[in-house]
Amino acid sequence: MKKVSIIIPVYNNFNLTLDCVNSIQKYSDDFGDYEIVVSDDCSTDDTQSFFSTIDDFKYQRNITNRGFSFTCNRGADISSGDYLLFLNNDTILTSSIIPSFLDTFQKYDAGIVGAKLLYPDDTIQHAGVLIYPDLKVSHLFKGFPSDYHAALGLRRIKAVTGACLMIPRNLFYQLGMFDENFVNGFEDLDLCFKAIEVGMSVYVNSDISLYHFEEKTRRNFNKQENSNSKLITSKWRHSLAPELSILDEGFDFKITEYGTFYIVRKSFDNIDMDDIIATISREPLFFYGYKRLINDYLLENKVDDALNISKKLLIFEPTIKNFELLRDIFAYKGDDNSVKILNQEINTLNLDRLSLKGEMLRLHEKYRDKDPLIAQYYQQWLLDN
């Protein structure tokens, strides 16, 4: 079996790192030949004093705080594995994952393989990267139940998150490693795009799953987000394309009144209107079910239950109408402060809506001949608004 280097980039959060490492060691019996590399981005907590003194780990420390790409690359430089598994320090293994990763590489034309990441409540945080028709990105099936039917097995996709990503060592260096011009964002997409450019495929294997406490280590990188977005667009403007494979699986895209894409189901099977709670838990895109349940709760004066369902509906169908629905439920409850906050949000979204028509006309014209499929989304928005 090939040797695997598990490279964990860290910046503080020592206890999370320790939990991550302990979970790796707990399920390592059938990992074969592997090593753990802790790459420290100049942490100020106990990370250095602990990991630099333990022989079980390879450890390197940046002189200054340099960010995700630099830290991952330096970890790779001191590693010795045939395969590199980049793993965030806020992840927890619940099973042995290395054999499944290696099996995917052996059976398929994989250049990069990612995994299904779960929130602590067992909903999906990542089952691949979803690129919308407007080229904005999100995580596929984010917020869906862990056993959602479309988030099982193997999927070829354009990109996966760097929070859990395996790549052959030789390919990683052939591609020039992570591009250090990105600052804590989009470097994983860039690496995946480079792999595809040289003829390799990117897969997410959703039979490999682990927990990702994403919010625990997230730092505010709003200042870098705009520059990262510009950089990924400039590097890949000739080949960057939406992830349309889900259209063949019964899904589609829609645009909110204020211009944000979201996914919908074209049709539904096995809908049980006698047990709507179970139905929307199993099929989060059954929007009618939420609204039916909200109405039933309000008739029974179960206002808090109606609020909870309305908030969940907004996650999957973030329309102005659903913001207004949530506001009206707060008004019914007598929560004037929440009503005020939501009215401000709704007013902002309506202003965005009023300013969008010219841009939507431009995008429709841009794609009308170039890509009629994309053009139809903008045409539908113009008809609806």
If pLDDT is split at 50, 70 and 90, which confidence band does 89 have?
Answer: very high
pTM above 0.85, yes or no: yes
- The per-residue pLDDT for range 180-192, each reduced to its tens digit, is 999 899 999 999 9
Q: What are phi and psi of 379, to 5 degrees?
A: -65, -40
Span 344-363, mean pLDDT? 94
**Which residues form the domain of 291?**
250-385
230 and 259 in one domain? no
Which of 245, 267, 300 is a domain's end point?
245
- The per-residue pLDDT for range 24-36, each reduced to its tens digit, is 999 988 888 999 9
271 and 218 in one domain? no
Domain count of the chain?
Answer: 2
If pLDDT is split at 50, 70 and 90, which confidence band does 220 have?
Answer: very low
* Confidence at residue 218, expressed as pLDDT on a 0 to 100 scale: 44
Q: How far apart are CA 127 and CA 138, in angstroms?
A: 10
Cβ atoms within 10 Å of 220's Cβ, excluding its own: 7
- The per-residue pLDDT for range 232-252, each reduced to its tens digit, is 999 998 888 899 999 999 999
- The per-residue pLDDT for range 296-350, each reduced to its tens digit, is 999 999 999 999 999 999 999 999 999 999 999 999 999 999 999 999 999 999 9
Q: Residue 161, Cα to own-chain centre: how many angstroms?
A: 7
290 and 155 in one domain? no
Selection from 369, 377, 361, 366 nearest residue 133 by Cα: 377
Q: How far apart are CA 307 and CA 298, in angstroms?
A: 9
Q: How far apart are CA 36 and CA 75, in angstroms?
A: 10
Cβ atoms within 10 Å of 298's Cβ, excluding its own: 16
380 and 260 in one domain? yes
126 and 49 in one domain? yes
Measure Cα distances from 155 to 46, 129, 152, 191, 235 in Å: 39, 11, 8, 18, 25
Does residue 222 surpass a pLDDT of 80? Answer: no
* Confidence at residue 83, expressed as pLDDT on a 0 to 100 scale: 98
Span 53-72, mean pLDDT? 95
326 and 237 in one domain? no
Q: Which residue has the higher pLDDT, 364 or 218?
A: 364
50 and 35 in one domain? yes
262 and 187 in one domain? no
Q: What does pLDDT average to over the chain?
A: 94
CATH number, residue 32? 3.90.550.10
Q: Which residue has the higher pLDDT, 306 or 230?
A: 306
Selection from 204, 238, 211, 272 nearest residue 89 by Cα: 211
Cβ partners under 8 Å of residue 313, min gap 6: 287, 290, 291, 294, 322, 325
267 and 227 in one domain? no
Beta bridge partners, 145, equal 123
* Confidence at residue 214, expressed as pLDDT on a 0 to 100 scale: 73
Q: How far apart are CA 163 and CA 91, in angstroms?
A: 8
254 and 239 in one domain? no
368 and 268 in one domain? yes
If pLDDT is split at 50, 70 and 90, which confidence band does 270 have?
Answer: confident
Assess contact for 190 and 183: CB atoms under 8 A: no
Measure Cα distances from 325 to 125, 295, 314, 332 in Å: 26, 11, 10, 11
Measure Cα distances from 135 to 66, 67, 257, 374 in Å: 28, 25, 18, 11
